[in-house]
Amino acid sequence: MIAGLLVAGAAWAWVALAGGRVATGSAVVASALTLFVLWFFRDPVPVLPPDAGLVVAPGQGRVIEIVEVEEPTFLEARARRISIFLSVFDVHVQRAPVSGEVEHREYMPGKYLVAWKEKASEENERASLGITTPHGRVLVKQIAGLVARRIITDPVVGDSVERGQRIGLIRFGSRVDLCVPLHWEVTCATGDRVRVGVTPLARLPVAVEA
């Protein structure tokens, strides 16, 4: 996709050199679109917090909800769900919130409701990744939004992931849910702006050596 836009932008730039307002205007639009897509798919390297006991944000955006829910697919218990809304201006790469082994991976087709609605967690197109740690299980949900049409999840069952490792991508507006055990301390609040792989959302129940 990015390569195609770069080729198209170069082609329009060449056409613009031939002259004409229409060609020049088209070249400007094509170049702006190319730059936006390149910026949208940026993948900054996170600076992990030094405390290895902190659970980092799997997505970048604003925390829109922290609620207690029943999580039957992987945690198989009541859990704390932390929901992050990603606007089109946020980084859309997802990263592992904890280190552990992937023991669950599932894709579910669905609707494309606006991602900040609570129903989006259960009704929208989504992919789930369950990670087992020595301190319990966590579930990361990549949820499509109103304009998202493709979810990419990189790890497969049996893979080991490290905290902060890239695990996937959602194209355009979307939502990321993190479900953690109820006894884990939540360190964020509704309304917080969080950075993927950087901002702590919770803390493991026991001290962990860095």
* pLDDT tens by residue, 116-130: 666 667 778 899 999
The answer to whether the Cα torsion of 179, 185, 190, 196 is positive or negative is: negative
Q: What is the pTM of this model?
A: 0.79
Choice among 31, 121, 128, 174 that is catalytic: 174
Residues 112 and 185 in one domain: yes
The answer to whether the Cα torsion of 190, 176, 158, 161 is positive or negative is: negative
- Structure token digits, residue 149: 């049409």
pLDDT of the residue at 111 = 75
Cα separation, 140 vs 153, whole angstroms: 11
Q: Looking at the predicted structure, is the pLDDT value of residue 35 above 70? A: no
Burial of residue 145 (CB within 10 Å: 0-12, 13-18, 19+) is: buried
Whether 174 is catalytic is yes
CATH number at residue 198: 2.70.70
Residues 36 and 58 in one domain: no
Residues 86 and 163 in one domain: yes
Q: Looking at the predicted structure, is the pLDDT value of residue 142 above 80? A: yes
